[in-house]
Amino acid sequence: MPDATAVTAPKGFLNALGLHRPELRAWAMYDWAVSAMQTVIMTAVFPIYFISVAGANGTPEAATQSLANANTVAAVVIAILGPILGAVADYQAAKKKFLAVFMMIGVFATMAMYFIQHGDLFLAATLFVLSMAGATGSMTFYESLLPHIASDKEVDRVSTAAYAFGYIGGGLLLALNLAWISNPALIGLPVGDDLPREQATLPARLAFVSVGVWWLLFSIPLFRGVREPARTIEADETARGNPFVAAFSRLGETLRELRQYKQAFLVMLAFTIYNDGIGTIIKMATAFGTEIGIARADLITAILIVQFVGIPFAFAFGALAGKLGTKLSILLGLAVYTGICIFAYGINSSREFYILAILVGMVQGGTQALSRSLFASMVPKHKSGEFFGFYSVFEKFGGILGPLVFSIAIGETGSSRGAILWVIGFFVVGGALLTRVNIPEGERMAREADARTHSA
């Protein structure tokens, strides 16, 4: 594969999208593939199934607590394994192999959800942990490929285009799943209120199978079209060393040298804080809507609105970054999020909730995609797996604080309306840290670190 920095992009539609080379399109398709799991399993269908079916023998509160615990276990597993396996993948030139392993764990766990029946809470929690770990772990290695396939000038548009692909893929399958769950006759399944339990749950269980098939099928372009980056090792390493010894050595070295990568660390820290605000809005939106009286059908419609509004605006953020710069574009997104919180405080109707969904869809994907590309531009390529492992750790552990603050705010204010205003603090603090990032300095340090390596 030619060096991405040496390729001159052609003019035209695909170039405008940031997808002008086959390997860029192949890479972006993994966002399309894995986003189906994120929309159907993480957000819309499985959480409801988990509580109403798998947790049917207990209380809804107990099932909700089990789901929260499963989320925590999956986050801890990836937080521990991410940096270590990322460093091993860097040393061994095995990013795609690790991506494939985690992807297959996630795919088979998701498809196995077909066997979850009433009262199968432990099975449901176990499979959810494996599915989440598979998706999150695979994303670590997927994102670590970004600095290898895109030049510094391309990375923003490529990252935002991939997010747009994710919105399309996740939104399409979610819409199909919701269509046949609400009307099973569309796919030839029986309809009625007196169906046996196994038949009544069949539409949702087939949706879980479809996610696994979709995830596996649309991952194929990445494995066929993106080459494993060439193996490089540092001056004090040997090509025949133990990969785990080398991994722990690199991790220790990186932790000691974080001061050298100050700009990348600042990006991680800023992202951890403001993305916690974004994540809190995502996680608490349906609960907030339910509390203020928005019907379940309207909540699901709002989720679809976010998905499909996000498509053009993810592309738009890539173009905006080319004109205003990556950092300023992210800050603009955070300013809109601040306005979203203020607007959410006063909403009372489904119509206003739809407007809220449109506003979220306008900035959610673009802000997160540009954060990914900004970090990628400051990462030494020979340590991209390791650094994105840390990135995943910061992202997952940062996600604990937002819901906790939201919960405390509800206790202090008595409702989610007051709590939503507290979320603004994440955008203010995270944005303030982001303003301190010196992008040219971060990019220079990363390139100098790469220059000190040699081919194995």
Give the DSSP per-residue string, 77-110: HHHHHHHHHHHHHHHHT-HHHHHHHHHHHHHHHH
**pLDDT tens string 224-261:** 999 998 877 766 656 677 777 776 776 777 666 666 78
Residue type, 101: V
Q: Write down the pLDDT at residue 380.
A: 87
Provide DSSP, 307-360.
HHHHHHHHHHHHHHHHHH-HHHHHHHHHHHHHHHHHHHHT--SHHHHHHHHHHH
CA distance 172 to 32: 10
Q: Write down the pLDDT at residue 5.
A: 42
CA distance 213 to 193: 29
Q: Which residues contact 440 (CB under 8 A, 6 or more apart)?
A: none
Report the relative pairing of strands 232-234 and 453-455 from DSSP bridges. antiparallel
Q: Write down the pLDDT at residue 243.
A: 75
CA distance 70 to 133: 10
- Residue 234's beta-bridge partner residues? 453
Q: Assess contact for 130 and 104: CB atoms under 8 A.
A: no
Token pair 């479809």 is found at: 210
Q: Assess contact for 392 and 139: CB atoms under 8 A.
A: yes
Q: In 10 A of CB 296, how many CB atoms?
A: 11
Which residues of the chain fall short of a pLDDT of 70?
A: 1-13, 61, 234-239, 247, 250, 254-259, 283, 287, 396-400, 403, 415, 454-456
CA distance 144 to 93: 11
CA distance 110 to 130: 8
| Burial of residue 6, with CB atoms counted within 10 A of its CB: 0-12 exposed, 13-18 middle, 19 or more buried | exposed
